[in-house]
């Protein structure tokens, strides 16, 4: 999310009658792909006991889908919430709100990575677990074809 321009939801009065979210930025194409994907994984570091502002900003934008009764197409999904010492339970619960639309089977990974200056590339066990989630989703999607 950090590399894209995604403005916070402005709760435009005309949201319900608009054909596209009125914020003209990367949030729109990401939201389209998020809605149409067969499988999705959402991930966040834990900041102050919950999800990052970046992912929450995108989550709020998906209110457009909710407003237009556009369920997620995803048959399965992954949630990854990584904290320093604690808070990934709360964050993974928050990320679960992405899947209030539709009926995706959801795989969850919660973990501790230590302080922010720890090198993420050295978190080999967490990386392996994240890869396993990706593999499970791919296997499930392929077996349903
Ligand atoms: C602004 C900020 C707030 C944080 N708040 C928490 C927290 O509440 N609980 C916690 O266990 N770790 C907290 N951390 C640590 C991060 O969750 C942890 O280091 C995580 O692995 C960072 O992911 P990253 O390596 O992708 O940046 C915080 C880090 C930052 C930068």
Q: Which mean pLDDT values do the consecutive 10-residue runs of the chain (145 residues) have?
A: 97 95 97 96 98 98 95 94 97 95 88 92 95 96 88
Q: Quick check: is 43 in a domain? A: yes
The rounded Å distance from CA 50 to ligand 1 centre is 9
130 lines ligand 1 (CB under 6 A): no
Nearest CA to ligand 1 atom 28: 47
83 lines ligand 1 (CB under 6 A): yes
Nearest CA to ligand 1 atom 10: 84
Q: Quick check: is 2 in a domain? A: no
pLDDT of the residue at 118: 92
For the domain that residue 136 is a member of, what is the CATH number? 3.40.50.360
Measured CA to CA, the distance from residue 3 to residue 80 in angstroms comes to 19
Nearest CA to ligand 1 atom 23: 45
What's the burial of 134, exposed, middle or buried (CB within 10 Å: 0-12/13-18/19+)? middle
Domain limits at 79?
A: 25-143
pLDDT of the residue at 61: 98
Q: Quick check: is 95 in a domain? A: yes
Among candidate residues 18, 90, 30, 19, the one with its CA nearest the CA of residue 60: 30
pLDDT of the residue at 144: 82
For the question of whether the overall pTM of this predicted structure is more than 0.85, the answer is yes
pLDDT of the residue at 113: 95
Q: Quick check: is 46 in a domain? A: yes
Q: Quick check: is 7 in a domain? A: no
47 lines ligand 1 (CB under 6 A): yes
Q: Quick check: is 3 in a domain? A: no
The count of structural domains within the chain is: 1
pLDDT of the residue at 109: 98
Among candidate residues 69, 3, 76, 9, the one with its CA nearest the CA of residue 39: 76
116 lines ligand 1 (CB under 6 A): yes
Buried b (16+ CB within 10 A) or exposed e, 6-41: beebeeeeebeeeeebebeebbbebbeebbebbbbb
Q: Quick check: is 6 in a domain? A: no
Measured CA to CA, the distance from residue 123 to residue 97 in angstroms comes to 27
pLDDT of the residue at 86: 96
Q: Quick check: is 118 in a domain? A: yes
């Amino acid at each position: 999310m950090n590399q894209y321009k995604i403005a916070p939801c402005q709760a435009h009065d005309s949201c319900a009658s608009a054909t596209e979210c009125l914020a003209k930025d990367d949030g729109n194409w990401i939201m389209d792909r998020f809605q149409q994907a067969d499988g999705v994984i959402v991930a966040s570091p834990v900041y102050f006991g919950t999800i990052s502002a970046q992912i929450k900003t995108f989550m709020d934008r998906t209110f457009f889908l909710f407003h237009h009764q556009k369920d997620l197409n995803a048959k399965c999904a992954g949630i990854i919430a990584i904290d320093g010492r604690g808070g990934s339970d709360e964050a993974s619960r928050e990320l679960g709100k992405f899947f209030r639309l539709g009926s995706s089977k959801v795989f969850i990974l919660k973990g501790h990575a230590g302080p922010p200056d720890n090198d993420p590339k050295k978190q080999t066990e967490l990386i392996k677990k994240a890869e396993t989630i990706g593999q499970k989703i791919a296997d499930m999607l392929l077996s349903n074809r």
